[in-house]
Amino acid sequence: MNFLALLFRNRLAAMGAVVLSLILALVLITPLLPLVDPDVIDTGNRFKRPFTEGALLGTDHLGRDLLSRLLWGTRLSLAVGFAAAVIAAVIGSAVGIVAGYFGGRVDNVIMRVIDMLMAFPYILLALAIVAALGPGLINALIAVAAVNIPFFARNIRGIAVGLAGREFIDAARLAGMGHMRIMLTELLPNVLPVIIIAMSTTVGWMILETAGLSFLGLGSQPPQADLGSMLGEARAALITAPHTSIVPGVMIFLIVMSINLLGDGVRDALDPRLKSGALSRPMARTKVDRKGPIPAGSDALMDIRELETQFHVKKRVYKAVGGVTLSVRPGECLGVIGESGSGKSVTALSVMGLVASPPGVVTGGAVRLNGEDLLDMPFEKLRQARGDKVAYIFQDPLSTLHPLYKVGDQLVEAIRSHHNVSNREARKKALSLLKDVRIPNAESRLDNYPHEMSGGMRQRVSIAMSLANDPEVIIADEPTTALDVTVQAQILALLDDLRRSRGLAIIFITHDFGVVAQLCDRVAVMYAGRIVEEGPTQEVLDAPAHPYTKRLIACVPELGQGRRELAAIPGLPPVVDNLPEGCAFAPRCDKARDECRMGDVALRGGAPRAGAPRAVRCLFPEEEIA
């Protein structure tokens, strides 16, 4: 959506924009209006009330026309406020970009100076600057700008530090760009939205500050009018002639309010998170809106039937999961394999209603745990089941563990949120869990923060946490992808042990055939949101029936085959908001015929159980399945 449409969706921002543009239009045409000279003194007509003849808004203590002074004063105040904002933004952003880009000592020195500036209350600092430079509107402008430089510098530095470490900056240096050019052409365009946001939220404030200095007599000097000095001069007659204060007061209120409302709108519209819908807080569970009949269950421990999950983003519908049927029994490990975008993670998250809603919606199917439909379950019961009956292990333990709490406390919290036990008992259990996942020196590790542990140790803690309440099913979403191979081997061995000793059912999501082959009894291969093949791991790997499975396996380089040309699958997986008719793999498949591109291809074969027949979604499979 374009910027303006996004901006005016916010009613208050639109109102601010209207008021502000009216004021701006008025002050721009002020020199053309038939107004009296604002500085002509006519003491005989002092304190005339508003709406009297010849003076629409009345006159002040020297008989000067208030309407004329108001318009000219507003013109001056706005000009000074905007000028101060631009100066502060330019200097502050330059300082912030330099500090953030160079880092180290440069950053340290600059930021300490900025800290010193910030240590003074702003009005004191502004007063000190004006006192040093002498009163006058330009000096007030300099003071207001100087006082606001730290705000910009700190904001921009924070963004620039993050950007300076990004790879595209390194790439620019390798392309032969100098520091100055990198800051101007690589960093600046990326921080510009932040500068604009910071400006739009501070212009109003700076207009107020200038008015404040003028009110104290340090800004515009008589007889020149600006909003602050008008208020200051009217102060003496506040009771006898209140209109002289009210007129400039209302104008200040209108300006600052409209700028702030508009500024907030600009901030929200430019925030990249808003575009992806992040400002709308997701619901506590995924929205369920099942159209068709609810399929019957089976006796499996966890039974996913014809699950359909979609993402509704504006008018587009992304069919992330398009009718997936999976089941696991106690002690069984089911592998779900697929490339990015195949819907494997969304399937996993749909089980316990963890897909962010909006935009996610479960539009069909059923997920049963011990025969109970999880999609139907009251929220409180589902919340109790999360972590207690079904636990998750995610890819990146650093982002799933809370960085500010000790791992021991996080384990204790996980235990006590489901079981009414004392802190001491929970801690004892936490210790034994850490020992179960074979963390050396478990006692001392309880008091570690997540950043004090290595990636492998952190992943062990997440596994310990998932085991905390003796769940029946563990859903592991790429748990070893971020780990080194030697650590991965340890974690896989640990998971295998646990499922054998505790009778856990594991749904293991991965993209790695080697991992599936070593750990899983059965495997389901997903492509474009659907299962294309399922069966016992060994059989599927030895004799893949779906062309996609066969060619995907051929793509994976295996250790011990030496240097060679690798097999590749040309093309890209389809985007799930625009799936081709018929088989989703047909455009990349060299066996595809016309039939493949028409009508739905069904998953053929018996309902797969361990040792039972395999299933494949292909009209011309590589292997005939029983």
Partner 1 sequence: MTLALKLTDLSKTFPLPKTLFGPEKPGVRAVRPLSLDVQQGETLGIVGESGCGKSTLARMLVGLLEPTTGTIEIEGKAPDTGNPAEFGKLIQYVFQDPISSLNPRKTIRQIMESPLKRLYGMGRRDRAQRIADIFDSVNLREEFLDRYPHEFSGGQAQRIGIARALAAAPRIIILDEPVSALDVSVQAQVLNLLARLRAEFNLTYLFISHDLAVVEAVSDRIVVLYFGAVVEVGKAEEIFANPKHPYTHLLASSAPVVGRPLTAPEQKGTELPDPLNPPPGCAFAGRCPRASDICHRQDPPLERMGDDQFAACHHPL
Q: Which residues bind partner 1 (CB under 8 A)?
A: 166-168, 170-178, 181, 185-186, 189-190, 339-340, 438-440, 454-457, 460, 484-490, 492-494, 496, 511-515, 517-519, 541, 551-552, 555-570, 572-573
Q: How far is the CB of 340 from partner 1 (least distance, A)?
A: 6
Going from the C-alpha of 470 to that of each of 303, 419, 505, 592, the distances in angstroms are 19, 11, 11, 47
Going from the C-alpha of 90 to that of each of 93, 145, 152, 369, the distances in angstroms are 5, 10, 9, 60
SS3 content of the chain, % helix, strand, coil (to 5): 50, 15, 35
Q: How far is the CB of 71 from partner 1 (least distance, A)?
A: 41
Q: How far is the CB of 137 from partner 1 (least distance, A)?
A: 38
Q: Which is nearer to partner 1, 9 or 179 (CB)?
A: 179
- Dihedral over Cα of 514, 519, 525, 527: its sign: negative
For 62, phi and psi rounded to 5 degrees?
Answer: -110, 10
DSSP state, residue 184: I
For 271, phi and psi rounded to 5 degrees?
Answer: -65, 120
Q: Which helix (H) or strand (E) holds 114?
A: helix 104-119
Q: How far is the CB of 557 from partner 1 (least distance, A)?
A: 4
Both structure tokens of 555: 């793509």
Q: Which is nearer to partner 1, 174 or 296 (CB)?
A: 174
Q: How far is the CB of 518 from partner 1 (least distance, A)?
A: 4
Q: Which is nearer to partner 1, 113 or 177 (CB)?
A: 177
Q: How far is the CB of 236 from partner 1 (least distance, A)?
A: 55
State how far the Cα of 291 lies from the Cα of 229, in Å rounded to an integer: 67
Going from the C-alpha of 488 to that of each of 339, 460, 531, 553, the distances in angstroms are 20, 11, 26, 20
Q: Which is nearer to partner 1, 32 or 566 (CB)?
A: 566
Q: How far is the CB of 511 from partner 1 (least distance, A)?
A: 7
Q: How far is the CB of 210 from partner 1 (least distance, A)?
A: 34
Q: Which is nearer to partner 1, 119 or 174 (CB)?
A: 174
State how far the Cα of 311 lies from the Cα of 295, in Å rounded to an integer: 22
Going from the C-alpha of 124 to that of each of 82, 129, 130, 131, 141, the distances in angstroms are 21, 9, 10, 10, 15
Q: Which helix (H) or strand (E) holds 365?
A: strand 360-369
Q: Which is nearer to partner 1, 34 or 440 (CB)?
A: 440
Q: Which is nearer to partner 1, 438 or 597 (CB)?
A: 438
Q: Which is nearer to partner 1, 306 or 512 (CB)?
A: 512
Contact 99, 157 (CB under 8 A): yes
Q: Which is nearer to partner 1, 390 or 474 (CB)?
A: 474
Q: What is the DSSP string of 16-52?
A: HHHHHHHHHHHHHHGGGS----TT---GGGTTPPTTB
State how far the Cα of 145 lies from the Cα of 164, in Å rounded to an integer: 27
Q: Which is nearer to partner 1, 186 or 534 (CB)?
A: 186
Could you tell me which residues are beta bridge partners of residue 326?
Answer: 304
Alpha-helix residue ranges (DSSP H) falling in 134-242: 137-164, 167-174, 179-181, 188-215, 227-234
Q: How far is the CB of 154 from partner 1 (least distance, A)?
A: 22
Q: How far is the CB of 585 from partner 1 (least distance, A)?
A: 11
State how far the Cα of 366 lies from the Cα of 308, in Å rounded to an integer: 9
Q: How far is the CB of 18 from partner 1 (least distance, A)?
A: 31
Q: Which is nearer to partner 1, 53 or 590 (CB)?
A: 590
